[in-house]
């Protein structure tokens, strides 16, 4: 047995079957530089998925490597919460300010799941209710509580959640009953649905609504701008908090805005974040209104959340994003990528939707008339792009969505190179001649 297939066999014997790898022949990555990754066999790939939106600014960024090295070499990388950690405090101050939430406070965790757990805990404590509203097709993490607010059946394994959740319309427009309405009527129909859900599925004392401004695992699906503003007006009438899950949409990835929710012209009560912040290091957290954050009376800590190494990496990453105005870069290169994808879709009838914003873009595959999802084309596109040296993501409710979310440092040349590979790969996977 070759070394590679031996590794795969060992993976299969020791890992649970719900941890599925990409590709017929899964790859082992051994090197990364800029936006390019190299596998154990020496093949190079342009990375259009940034890990899973985790390598926000690319690989081997000297400023970030230095910050991590310095912290490691200081010898100080203990638990997080008993002593003052300079980088943690500086990072919290920076995030609080960037959040635009007045007098915001920040709690650090190790992941997006834990960030959402913390947000749920705070909201339910503050409002003394365990009723939560979430969006259909949502994904918020893999813990017991986070799965209880995850609407996407492919990803929500547990129906025995401690959270009392009702799901509302809006996030996944292509498959919404209101999809053919113009934007303002679509939003009005979703607001009417929210009012109906509140009146018919809850006892009225709902703690919070949690939502991804652009649904990540759900296939980069999103409502029209203004949706969350209109929804929040109803939530405010009932004192219901709004938690924006910015795990995928934060830090300028969506281009025009620093946070995904800003496209809707509102500031939420809390935001959760993770993924790109540490450029690959494990860090997440919640930023929230102070009264919400202070509602816990019991002592609480996270042993590793916001630890010195993760916060050093995160501070350096966030500084890098701001110093290099990567939000503007995401907007510029993302617009170019989106235009290119739209042109590809004109030639490939199986692409039934191109959506997203900034460097968070997706193409959904299926039948344009019936909207029947096509998972086999999506799987083929994944293999075709790999063959040509491009890594993309797959996702969506049915696994029929190709997702593109490269590091925010992607250059126009790299975007062009990726588009050429995508055009060839979509054509090859669908048997279309272009």
Q: Which residues bind ligand PLP (CB under 6 A)?
A: 111-113, 116, 139-141, 212, 216-217, 245, 247-248, 274, 284
CB 13: neighbour CB atoms within 10 A? Answer: 7
Q: What DSSP state is assigned to residue 294?
A: T
Q: Specify the residue, 391 or 429, whose C-beta has the smaller distance to ligand PLP.
A: 391
Q: Specify the residue, 56 or 344, whose C-beta has the smaller distance to ligand PLP.
A: 56
Distance of closest approach, residue 130 Cβ to ligand PLP, in angstroms:
19
Q: Specify the residue, 49 or 59, whose C-beta has the smaller distance to ligand PLP.
A: 49
Which H helix or E strand runs over 344?
Answer: helix 326-347
Distance of closest approach, residue 59 Cβ to ligand PLP, in angstroms:
19
Distance of closest approach, residue 158 Cβ to ligand PLP, in angstroms:
15
Distance of closest approach, residue 316 Cβ to ligand PLP, in angstroms:
20
CB burial of residue 387 (10 Å; 0-12, 13-18, 19+)? middle
What distance in Å separates the CA atoms of residue 384 and residue 3, rounded to the nearest whole number?
24
Closest-approach residue to ligand PLP (CB): 112
Q: Specify the residue, 50 or 350, whose C-beta has the smaller distance to ligand PLP.
A: 50
Q: What DSSP state is assigned to residue 243?
A: E
155, 139 contact by CB (below 8 A):
yes
Distance of closest approach, residue 139 Cβ to ligand PLP, in angstroms:
5
DSSP string, 203-228: -S---EEEE-SSBTTTTSB-PPTTHH
What distance in Å separates the CA atoms of residue 252 and residue 259, rounded to the nearest whole number?
6
Which backbone phi and psi does 188 adopt, to 5 degrees? -60, -40
What six digits make up the tokens of 148?
């209880």
Distance of closest approach, residue 431 Cβ to ligand PLP, in angstroms:
32
- Please give the order of strands across the beta sheet that includes 284-288: 105-109, 284-288, 270-273, 241-245, 208-211, 131-135, 164-168
Q: At what angle do helices 308-323 and 62-74 cross, to 10 degrees?
A: 160
Q: Specify the residue, 280 or 418, whose C-beta has the smaller distance to ligand PLP.
A: 280
Distance of closest approach, residue 185 Cβ to ligand PLP, in angstroms:
27
Q: Specify the residue, 88 or 150, whose C-beta has the smaller distance to ligand PLP.
A: 150
Which backbone phi and psi does 369 adopt, to 5 degrees? -80, -50
Q: Specify the residue, 111 or 202, whose C-beta has the smaller distance to ligand PLP.
A: 111
Distance of closest approach, residue 411 Cβ to ligand PLP, in angstroms:
26
Distance of closest approach, residue 145 Cβ to ligand PLP, in angstroms:
12
> Closest Cα partner for 362 from 257, 183, 215, 260?
215
**Within 76-182, where are the H helices?**
86-99, 112-127, 144-147
Q: Specify the residue, 141 or 366, whose C-beta has the smaller distance to ligand PLP.
A: 141
Q: Specify the residue, 116 or 385, whose C-beta has the smaller distance to ligand PLP.
A: 116
Q: What is the number of H-type helices and E-type strands within the chain?
A: 13, 15
């Amino acid at each position: 047995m070759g070394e590679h297939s031996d590794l795969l066999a060992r993976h299969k014997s020791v890992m649970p079957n719900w941890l599925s790898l990409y590709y017929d022949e899964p790859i082992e990555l051994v090197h990364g530089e800029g936006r390019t990754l190299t596998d154990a066999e020496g093949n190079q790939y342009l990375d259009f998925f940034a890990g899973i939106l985790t390598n926000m600014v690319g690989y081997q960024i000297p400023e970030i490597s230095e910050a991590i090295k310095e912290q490691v070499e200081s010898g100080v990388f203990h638990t997080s919460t008993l002593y003052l950690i300079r980088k943690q405090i500086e990072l919290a101050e920076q995030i609080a300010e960037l959040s635009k939430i007045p007098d915001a406070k920040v709690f650090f965790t190790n992941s997006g799941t834990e960030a959402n757990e913390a947000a749920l805990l705070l909201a339910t404590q503050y409002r003394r209710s365990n009723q939560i509203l979430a969006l259909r097709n949502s994904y918020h993490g893999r813990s017991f509580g986070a799965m209880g607010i995850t609407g996407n059946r492919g990803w929500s394994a547990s129906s025995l959640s401690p959270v009392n959740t009702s799901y509302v319309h809006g996030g996944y427009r292509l498959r919404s009953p209101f999809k053919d309405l113009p934007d303002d009527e679509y939003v009005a129909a979703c607001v009417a649905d929210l009012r109906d859900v509140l009146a018919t599925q809850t006892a009225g004392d709902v703690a919070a609504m949690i939502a991804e401004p652009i649904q990540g695992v759900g296939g980069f699906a999103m409502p029209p701008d203004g949706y969350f503003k209109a929804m929040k007006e109803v939530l405010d009438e009932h004192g219901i908090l709004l938690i924006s899950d910015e795990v995928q949409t934060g830090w300028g990835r969506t281009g025009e805005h620093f946070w995904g929710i800003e496209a809707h012209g509102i500031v939420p009560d809390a935001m959760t974040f993770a993924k790109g912040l540490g450029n690959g290091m494990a860090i997440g957290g919640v930023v929230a209104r102070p009264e919400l954050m202070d509602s816990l009376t019991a002592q609480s800590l996270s042993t590793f959340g916001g630890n010195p190494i993760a916060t050093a990496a995160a501070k350096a990453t966030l500084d890098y994003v701001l110093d290099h105005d990567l939000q503007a870069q995401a907007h510029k290169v993302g617009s170019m990528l989106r235009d290119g994808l739209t042109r590809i879709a004109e030639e490939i009838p199986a692409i039934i939707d191109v959506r997203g914003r900034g460097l968070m873009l997706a193409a959904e595959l299926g039948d344009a008339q019936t909207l029947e999802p096509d998972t086999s084309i999506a799987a083929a596109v994944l293999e075709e792009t790999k063959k040509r040296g491009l890594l993309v993501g797959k996702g969506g409710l049915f696994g029929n969505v190709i997702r593109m979310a490269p590091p925010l440092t992607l250059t126009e040349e790299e975007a062009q190179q990726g588009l050429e590979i995508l055009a060839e790969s979509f054509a090859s996977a669908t048997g279309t001649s272009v």
